[in-house]
Structure 1
Amino acid sequence: MLAIDQRESMRAMFAEKQTEPVTDEQLIRFKLDALRALTPYASAVLIDRQFAWQPAIDQKAVSSNCGLIAAADQFIPSIDEIVSDVIIDEEVNPEKVKSDGAVALKLLVTWRPDESADVRIAMVDDFVARCKRAGLISIIEPVAKKRRDGKDWDMSEGIIAAARELGDRGADLYKAEVPRHGKGGEKLVRDESAELTKIIKGPWVVLSSGVAPDDFPEAVEWACKEGASGFLAGRAVWRNVIGSSNIGKALSEDAVPRLTRLCEVVDRVVSR
């Protein structure tokens, strides 16, 4: 599955490649170009309300064979983090996006070792209930973040702890960070992927943030060998396209092969 719901983080990626301001229109244009080029090869695509949902629906930019997932999260920035906290986006109406063709909603959850588990659990439970009422698949995406108090923390322990806390709250699909972000060798990544499979009560997939695009296929393979069902990822597919002088050509020649390679990995490993 493909993710194209990045918001201010995508703006930051473009800002690294150009001197002029990155406009909303530039982001919308890129997202629509990516949807047209990539969704024929994806089983589903995750789209944000802020920039791309309505334009994608109005322009029929998503391939008919690709399921629609609406991002239902509102990102709250801080001085040093583009996504410092998350709440449910009240402007995303489950019934409305379902009428547009959505089959699922996704909620990102920031997990920190020094913040209240009760708040996170309550938000996830609320989100899952909303999805059930609307007849939509619920996807949660817990992401381990640094401590607020500045003390040392362990990202790998955070990924496992987030799964222990939120992996049995009734969500239909759990979207996890790749253990160790793919670093440390096959055994460590596979061991911790196997641990996630034991903890999460239902299917889970990996996201690509924190993993270099060239390394992501191997990380997906390791995770799938230990029980993951696939991927829901964006950066590992299209990040290298950003900054290209010819976006359409770069999507066709770089992003499409990356996506199809990832699909081949999942088809080969998960179908065993």
Structure 2
Amino acid sequence: MNPLTDGKREGLEKLSDKNGIIRALAIDQRGSLKKMISDGENLANEKSLQRFKALVSETLTPYASAILLDPEYGWPAADVRAKCTGLLMAYEKTGYDASAEGRLPDLLAHWSVKRLKNRGADGIKVLLYYDVDESPAINDQKQAFIERIGDECRAEDLPFFLEIVTYDARITDVLGEDYAKVKPHKVIEAMKVFSHDTYGVDVLKVEVPVNMAFVEGFGEKTIYTKEQAAEYFRAQSAATDLPFIFLSAGVSAELFRKTLYFAKESGSRFNGVLCGRATWKDGATKFAKEGEKAAEDWLHNQGRENIESLNEVLQTCATPWQRAGRFAK
């Protein structure tokens, strides 16, 4: 078991609140955000992307322990974040080559962990699309890729956050019933893989283990009873001794809060969130359709309400990352 070094511990403390809860705001979206803030056929340009990210950062980081940004459009937003807010930087290229098999990842050509650290990053985030049942040849490439990043982060003594987005190569609709039936297996087994010391991961950023739209009492159709869903949340916690945080996956702010309460009631020991669209996506619509002032007003009101309501949930439901088995004293 790799001990937590001084540099990594310091980075995690900067990215979490005084209670050890990671209350992070995510706005490292690039291609998807460009579409969200585009006005009809007029695609958003670099300046628009930078400006919207900066608006979100300036308005909402006083209520977040950290912000996740990208080095392509995010530096202006990093510069205007609240002084008490840590900086997590994405290192991967956005998306993947859909014409190639396996959703293989790639890194930004002009950046390294050293360069991101020198620009002020307190931690590094990499997104990986992963199907535990994909061919061994594909998954071996992905595992080697993560090993290399883990070694970079070790060399620079910087925390490594691995975001795992699961899929099934045979199922096109990850929001549908077929994927909902296999999602617990996909999420939990992927967490087991990348919890191994060889990858150098410090925090896992993961999906909740079920599609809440198919949990009894949460949606119109039931695939999992409440008891089954609760067991999957407990199994997820048992799958790793690393800290892990939930991504919002674009669900509504209300559903995300309800999900976190359910996770806590089920016995999950999750350590916080890295929440993006659930906090600010309607502000992006305002920015596209009504302009900067309308977006800014929305962020100051509904956006702030979204993040403060989420913080109240986390205060009740999340567990300090220092209590994760790997790092507990």
Instruction: Give the TM-score normalised by structure 1.
Output: 0.88
CA RMSD of aligned residues (A): 2.5
Distance across 2 between alignment mates of 1:141 and 1:271: 19
Matched-pair contact (CA < 8 Å) for 2:243–2:271: yes
Query: What is the aligned partner in structure 2 of residue 165 from structure 1?
Result: 193
Partner secondary structure for residue 221 of structure 1: helix
The percent of aligned pairs where both chains have the same amino acid is 24
Matches within 5 A, 1:108-257: 108-112=127-131, 113-115=133-135, 116-147=138-169, 154-168=182-196, 169-183=199-213, 184-185=215-216, 186-224=226-264, 225-244=267-286, 245=290, 246-257=294-305
Structure 2 counterpart of 1:26, one-letter code: S
Partner secondary structure for residue 145 of structure 2: helix
Q: CA deviation at 1:150?
A: 6.6
Partner secondary structure for residue 102 of structure 1: coil
Distance across 1 between alignment mates of 2:27 and 2:99: 23
Query: How many residues are paired up?
Result: 267
Task: Return 5+ residue gaps in structure 1 as ranges.
Answer: none
Structure 2 counterpart of 1:56, one-letter code: A
Q: CA deviation at 1:101?
A: 2.2
1:11 has 2:34 as partner? yes
Task: Return 5+ residue gaps in structure 2 as ranges.
Answer: 1-23, 217-225, 321-329
Of the two, which has the highest radius of gyration? Answer: 2
Q: CA deviation at 1:123?
A: 1.4
Distance across 2 between alignment mates of 1:25 and 1:192: 43
Is the alpha carbon distance of 1:165 and 1:61 closer, same or farther for their aligned partners in structure 2, counting shifts above 3 Å?
same
Matches within 5 A, 1:21-170: 21-53=43-75, 55-57=76-78, 60-78=79-97, 84-112=103-131, 113-115=133-135, 116-147=138-169, 154-168=182-196, 169-170=199-200
Segment of structure 1 superposing worse, 36-45 or 144-153: 144-153
Is the alpha carbon distance of 1:131 and 1:207 closer, same or farther for their aligned partners in structure 2, counting shifts above 3 Å?
same
Matched-pair contact (CA < 8 Å) for 1:182–1:211: no
Higher strand share: 1
Segment of structure 1 superposing worse, 83-92 or 260-269: 83-92
Matched-pair contact (CA < 8 Å) for 1:206–1:232: yes
Q: CA deviation at 1:104?
A: 0.4
Is the alpha carbon distance of 1:42 and 1:50 closer, same or farther for their aligned partners in structure 2, counting shifts above 3 Å?
same
Distance across 2 between alignment mates of 1:85 and 1:10: 21
> How big is each residue's C-alpha offset from its partner over 1:32-51, in whole Å with a ceiling of 9 and x where there is no partner?
10000011110011101111
> How big is each residue's C-alpha offset from its partner over 1:102-130, in whole Å with a ceiling of 9 and x where there is no partner?
11000101102324321222111111111
Distance across 2 between alignment mates of 1:88 and 1:215: 32
Distance across 1 between alignment mates of 2:144 and 2:259: 31
